[in-house]
Structure 1
Amino acid sequence: MDYTHYKKQLEERKREIEQQLIDNNHFGLERGMASGRSSGELSQYDNHPADSGTDLYEREKDMALLTHLQDELSEISYSLKQIEQGTYGICEVTGNEIPPERLEAMPTARTIKAAADQHVPGDRPVEEEVLHELEWDDGNDSYEEVASFNDSGMTYEGSSLMEADENPGYVEEFEPFVSTEIEGYTGSEQVHFQRNEYYEKYMDQQDEEQSE
């Protein structure tokens, strides 16, 4: 098979990269940053940390661009050497010919197929198991829910850990059934009682205490 077309493409791209490196003076990486020459300063001593951070970012970006071009140049040189040796266009894995469509898209291709995607681990943080077990009820205190999963046996007086018969999310026993307008508490006459299960439980408890 005649690979003259691909050889011209590779040689043209090689000249473009070499010229780009010359025009950009290898992205200025031959200058020393520590001396301040890369930023035009005689010294970095009196510079604000943000200025040095910006210089470092630009420097790392230039290094990434230079590395990318050097890697591409290395691949092109390798492919040109293959053409000279008569091994170009042969898959290094299977030994079969690489389809022209793939070489047209990537003249430096070494295999018939692109490398398989890297395996992405499906492991999830162990904390997610706890989050899924939590049942978020309206009005519940999130801290109390999370604190109830504390494996530590250190419980202090006044701890916010939920007790078995505690109304979750409330500080006082009557809070589950009292409410006010949007303005908040403006007087006892503005307090509304919701006669729900908490109200009934609270009233039963009050009756028991009065009868004792």
Structure 2
Amino acid sequence: MSHLTNEQLTKLKESLQHEKSDLERHFSADGNAQGQEESLRVSTGELSAYDNHPADVGTETFERSRDMAVDDNLERRLEEINSALDRIEDSSYGQCAVCGRDIPYERLEAVPYTAYCVEHTPERNVSDYRPVEEDVITPPPKGAGENRQRDAGNFDDAEAWHTLEKYGNSDSPAMAAKRNPTDYDSLTVEDD
């Protein structure tokens, strides 16, 4: 900590303590973290989710997951702040955890809980995470035109329904648009 003056260190420590008290106040006011321990029925005050439109339940689910993500981020920040306060106590604050070089005061002023210099900051780039589904999705075909899917090796053409209809559908002779169908095979488009 030799590169930090007592005044700078005091200012950074006060900043960390202020942010820590704000975060602790957030979690104590939350009670059980935004009602996440409660069931969806209890948190919405509804007796049942069945009488609601699915979008209502979807909105509530989205809000709960967003709150959980925010709380996870704030919990991580609180852990980093506590760790920074511990480093102040053991005189290792202001030194990079990887290379041991002094972290510039300006960086500590901007991110007082950091344990890394700029060069060794761990990446937290969310855009690097890609869903596992993307590993199996075929890329879209190049170009345009009627036969582009056939050229790309994908199945998506105008005759798709005719091919799939051979395997049956939910129509029954009783519900058919045709008058007096005799069997399931007479319901197909090909029968026309």
* Cα distance in structure 2, aligned partners of 1:45 and 1:151: 43
Q: Which amino acid aligns with 1:4?
A: T
Which residue does 2:131 correspond to in 1? Answer: none
Deviations along 1:120-153, whole A, 9 cap, x unmatched? 6xxxx9857x62xx6x8xxxxx214x2673779x
Q: Which amino acid aligns with 1:149?
A: D
The answer to whether structure 1 residue 31 and structure 2 residue 34 are counterparts is: no
The answer to whether structure 1 residue 46 and structure 2 residue 48 are counterparts is: no
Counting matched residue pairs gives: 137
**Aligned-pair identity (%):** 34
Unaligned runs of 5+ in 2: 129-136, 155-192
SS in 2 for 1:54: helix
Which residue does 2:26 correspond to in 1? Answer: 20
Structure 1 residues 147 and 115, CA gap change in structure 2 (3 angstroms): closer
Larger gyration radius, structure 1 or structure 2: 1
* Cα distance in structure 2, aligned partners of 1:148 and 1:52: 40
* Cα distance in structure 1, aligned partners of 2:93 and 2:18: 17
Query: How many Å apart are 1:22 and its aligned residue?
Result: 2.5
Unaligned runs of 5+ in 1: 137-141, 153-212
The answer to whether structure 1 residue 149 and structure 2 residue 176 are counterparts is: no
The answer to whether structure 1 residue 7 and structure 2 residue 13 are counterparts is: yes
TM-score (norm. length: structure 2): 0.61
Runs of 4+ displaced beyond 6 Å: none
* Cα distance in structure 1, aligned partners of 2:149 and 2:39: 54
Query: How many Å apart are 1:46 and its aligned residue?
Result: 2.9
TM-score (norm. length: structure 1): 0.55
Q: Which has the higher helix share?
A: 2
Q: CA RMSD in A?
A: 3.0
Structure 1 residues 43 and 6, CA gap change in structure 2 (3 angstroms): same
SS in 1 for 2:151: coil
Which residue does 1:61 correspond to in 2? Answer: 66
Which residue does 1:74 correspond to in 2? Answer: 79
In the alignment, is the contact (CA less than 8 A) between 1:29 and 1:59 conserved in 2?
Answer: yes
Query: How many Å apart are 1:4 and its aligned residue?
Result: 1.8
Deviations along 1:191-212, whole A, 9 cap, x unmatched? xxxxxxxxxxxxxxxxxxxxxx
Structure 1 residues 117 and 17, CA gap change in structure 2 (3 angstroms): closer
* Cα distance in structure 2, aligned partners of 1:73 and 1:151: 51
Query: How many Å apart are 1:95 and its aligned residue?
Result: 0.6
Q: Which amino acid aligns with 1:5?
A: K
Point out which structure has higher relative CO (alpha carbons under 8 A, 6+ apart): 2
